[in-house]
Amino acid sequence: MIKKLSILVVCVLMGSPVWADSKRPYQDPALSDEERIDDLIARMTLVEKIGQMSQYVGIEHIQKSEKNMSIEEMQAGDAQGLYPNLHSSKIPALIERGEVGSFLHVKNPAEANLLQGYASKSRLAIPLIIGIDAIHGNGLVKGSTIYPTPLTMASSWNLDLVREANVQTAREMRANGAQWSFTPNVDIARDARWGRVGETFGEDTYLVSEMGVAVIEGLQQGDFRGPEKGLATAKHFVAGGDPINGLNLSPMDISMRSLRQDFFPPFKRAVDVGVFSFMAAHNEINGVPAHANRFLFHDVLREEWGFKGFVVSDWMDIERLKTMHRVAETQTEAVFQSVDAGLDMHMHGPDFLEPLADLVEKGRISEARIDAAVRPILLAKFRLGLFESSQVDLGEARAAMFTTEHQQTALQMAQQGIVLLKNEGQILPLKKDQKVFVTGPNADSQAILGDWVFAQPDENVTTVVEGLKALSSVPVDFYDVGSQVKSTSASAIEAAGQRAKEADVAIVVVGENALRQNHKGKTGGENVGRSSINLIGQQLDLVKAVQGSGTPTIVVLVNNRPLSEPWIVENASALIEAWEPGSLGGQAVAEIIYGEVNPSGKLPITIPYSAGHIQSIYNHKPSALVRTYVDAPSQNLYEFGDGLSYTEFEYSDLELSKDEMGPDGSVKASLTVTNAGARAGDEVVQLYIRDNFSRVTRPVKELKGFKRVSLAAGESQTVDFQVTAEMLAYYDLKMKWGVEPGDFTIMVGASSRNRDLKTGLLKVTP
């Protein structure tokens, strides 16, 4: 059938003088986007239209897979691309025939230019749109600025800084030939066993929504017109962050109430600010795979929310409708279910164009549906300026990466995203003349870069040891126990304990490793779930050996998910949650340890006592903790919003501008925050609400606002929040959104912990 369509294309081309014109209307940038799209679609064959819906992995990526992997190995993982019946040498011809409209995993500008060159030889010369996982910087490209991971970004609670980091990411991405980033991940992460926690902004709907908006605004900067802007992708729609067993792809059964109140809002906010692409989730929702879920993508996303962009599948997930979910008996049926549900682009490879063309030919999918999918894809290409210039300057590409400006943003985000959790006896900050002993598998490792990053030049990465050595005025004693977090030898542990005795203070850097190039040692990241959330391997034994030396011990965690080690919380002198702080992360850790930076990060996620305590979220329902565990304490190790400083902040009583308001009104909540300590510092002031009584149960508290304030020693500042009816609303017994009359508790303070909050009572009248 495809052969017949290709012959038809050739015949029409030979007999159509208008297509031989040197310049067609769709190639005229003076025309409106709609005029250009209308003209171009009218010229396209069905095959060329479906070609725009077809994405492939880059040729170099395929060649590497062909050389190093078997088909079975490729199918077992999600990191490589290998097409069993299509050699990489055949792909240029597909592009020139107009059968490919997009690529991903193109990691250098030379390859991007080569692929665009093939596209320029196609009949209509439609450029490609190239996507890449630029999750926290363009990390799959060597030499990029690696910003802290999203969970670390969220710990900064600094929306302006997150926005700027993504402006810069778009700049580096475009310079290297990609225009489309598969971020932000606005999943709500409620299970610390899940490997992708670090790729999210944590457990709270409001914070995740605001962080996602900042990413979208940074990447797209409005309608994304211009050579330094790119497309953002709201993913994964929906509910992948609370899998039933902690494993990526596993099912999600969830009430419609929770879906709409907890999981939908970050995606709705993304639509409201103009995100132009969505990605479907791997998982099923209430028995229907997301990739075949017409309710999600047609009814909600397009009809209810008015989304105008395009939807891309996740990696080979259309195929999984047949091979994994088993809701489609054939690949053709899988393609039908996904396109009928509202998906517009296939990631990735063959076995999509021909089945979809056959479905149109047989009348199961209308050509109008194909046109509806293609229009936003073409609009993205017009707005991005690809029809005018799809090639990038190879000389400028490197100059745009890892600039001084970008490094400064990455460093500042790390400084603000690192969280001080314990500081017993004010051991921190250290004096620079103290004799320091450092060890641990993450002490001198690129693990600080996190997932979605390939190995970066050593000169671009400041490890924790390097950061400490740069600031200390005396030699730092570093004992290398290797960089594999899964395994540390008993002899190395014993030696570390002995070496620590000679120091004034010891620092042990432990945690996880999410690096993609360290496949065997990888303990976090995509598709790396865990059954436990303690330190893996012998790392706790290492900490105990060093602490047992009698030397005061500081533990630094480098990790992409909450780690639960009650022994460390109880026995270490200090505990620093560094998460994955990026290229300059080691410098930021050292600056905090030596007091050049006052820590100000706050947890965007709860740290449970153990994996057995999951689900542990701050906004639990009232009945969640009525009973206690018989074999362990019931409390969390650290609460959502926690984080210490080297200064002390005092909160005055909360004042409301009025005690009552109507169902459409608003009230100003004010309090004064004072820096009562001896040094300047930043504080994240957090606003929570509680509906005291409701017909449908509601969480014990819900975050509804936050402000980051900087205060000099002794300085006070009044912090105001406008409490609106929308903040108090919920879905009632009839699933109607609105505010019920009654009493609400307004809470403002330093964390979600009750003792850290000042409270006021607000009555909503009918």
Query: By the 8 A CB rule, do 744 and 764 touch?
Result: yes
2 confidence band (pLDDT: 50, 70, 90):
very low
Euclidean distance between CA atoms 602 and 152, whole angstroms: 9
What is the pLDDT, as a whole number, of residue 649? 98
3-state helix, strand, coil in the chain (%, to 5): 35, 15, 45
Residue 78 has pLDDT above 90, yes or no: no
Least confident range from 33-37, 42-46, 64-68, 636-640: namely 64-68
Query: By the 8 A CB rule, do 112 and 175 touch?
Result: no
83 confidence band (pLDDT: 50, 70, 90):
confident
520 confidence band (pLDDT: 50, 70, 90):
confident
CB atoms within 10 A of CB 1: 11
Residue 6 has pLDDT above 50, yes or no: no
For residue 635, give the 3-state DSSP assignment: coil
Residue located via tokens 């390859």: 111
Euclidean distance between CA atoms 180 and 24, whole angstroms: 26
pLDDT digits (tens, 9 = 90+) for 301-359: 999 999 999 999 999 999 999 999 999 999 999 999 999 999 999 999 999 999 999 99
**Annotated catalytic, 314?**
yes
Tell me how far apart the terminal alpha carbons of the chain are, to the nearest angstrom: 65
What is the pLDDT, as a whole number, of residue 10? 39
DSSP 8-state code for residue 185: B
What is the pLDDT, as a whole number, of residue 94? 96
| Residue ranges with strand state E in 91-158 | 102-104, 129-132
Task: Give pTM, 2 decimals.
Answer: 0.95
What is the pLDDT, as a whole number, of residue 74? 52
* pLDDT more than 90, % of the chain: 91
What is the pLDDT, as a whole number, of residue 15? 34
Query: By the 8 A CB rule, do 213 and 234 touch?
Result: no
Query: By the 8 A CB rule, do 270 and 234 touch?
Result: yes
Euclidean distance between CA atoms 49 and 568, whole angstroms: 58
Q: Which of 596, 580, 616, 637 is nearest to 422 (CA)?
A: 637
**Domain 407-613 class, CATH top level:** alpha beta
61 confidence band (pLDDT: 50, 70, 90):
confident
Catalytic-labelled residue, pool 133, 187, 262, 314:
314
What is the pLDDT, as a whole number, of residue 759? 98
What is the pLDDT, as a whole number, of residue 86? 86
Q: What angle do CA 258, 259, 265 make, to 5 degrees?
A: 105
69 confidence band (pLDDT: 50, 70, 90):
low
Euclidean distance between CA atoms 576 and 555, whole angstroms: 6
Give the pLDDT mean for 70-82.
Answer: 57
Residues ≥6 apart with Cβ < 8 Å to 353: 2, 47, 50, 51, 53, 54, 99
**Domain 649-764 class, CATH top level:** mainly beta
77 confidence band (pLDDT: 50, 70, 90):
low
Residue 79, burial from CB neighbour count under 10 angstroms (0-12, 13-18, 19+)? middle
Residues ≥6 apart with Cβ < 8 Å to 543: 508, 510, 535, 553, 555, 565, 567, 568, 572
Structure tokens, 349: 């490879």
Euclidean distance between CA atoms 268 and 247, whole angstroms: 25
Residue 5 has pLDDT above 80, yes or no: no
407-613 matches 51-398 in CATH topology:
no
For residue 558, give the 3-state DSSP assignment: strand
Euclidean distance between CA atoms 198 and 557, whole angstroms: 13
pLDDT digits (tens, 9 = 90+) for 139-197: 999 999 999 999 999 999 999 999 999 999 999 999 999 999 999 999 999 999 999 99
For the chain, domain boundaries: 51-398, 407-613, 649-764
pLDDT digits (tens, 9 = 90+) for 377-394: 999 999 999 999 999 999
Q: How far is CA 680 from the centre of its chain?
A: 31
pLDDT digits (tens, 9 = 90+) for 486-512: 999 999 999 999 999 999 999 999 999
Residue 85 has pLDDT above 90, yes or no: no
Residue 742 has pLDDT above 80, yes or no: yes
* pLDDT more than 70, % of the chain: 95
Give the pLDDT mean for 224-234.
Answer: 97
**The residue count for the chain:** 766
pLDDT digits (tens, 9 = 90+) for 448-491: 999 999 999 999 999 999 999 999 999 999 999 999 999 999 99
518 confidence band (pLDDT: 50, 70, 90):
confident
Residue located via tokens 């799209």: 37
Residue 7 has pLDDT above 50, yes or no: no
What is the pLDDT, as a whole number, of residue 84? 79
Backbone angles phi, psi at 417, to 5 degrees: -95, -15
Q: Which of 257, 158, 195, 275 is nearest to 604 (CA)?
A: 158
What is the pLDDT, as a whole number, of residue 519? 81
Structure tokens, 39: 């003209």
What is the pLDDT, as a whole number, of residue 741? 96
3 confidence band (pLDDT: 50, 70, 90):
very low
CATH (residue range 51-398): 3.20.20.300
What is the pLDDT, as a whole number, of residue 621? 97
What does the mean pLDDT of the chain come to? 94
Euclidean distance between CA atoms 766 and 741, whole angstroms: 5
Euclidean distance between CA atoms 115 and 98, whole angstroms: 12
Residue located via tokens 């009044």: 718
What is the pLDDT, as a whole number, of residue 431? 98
Furthest C-alpha separation in the chain: 88
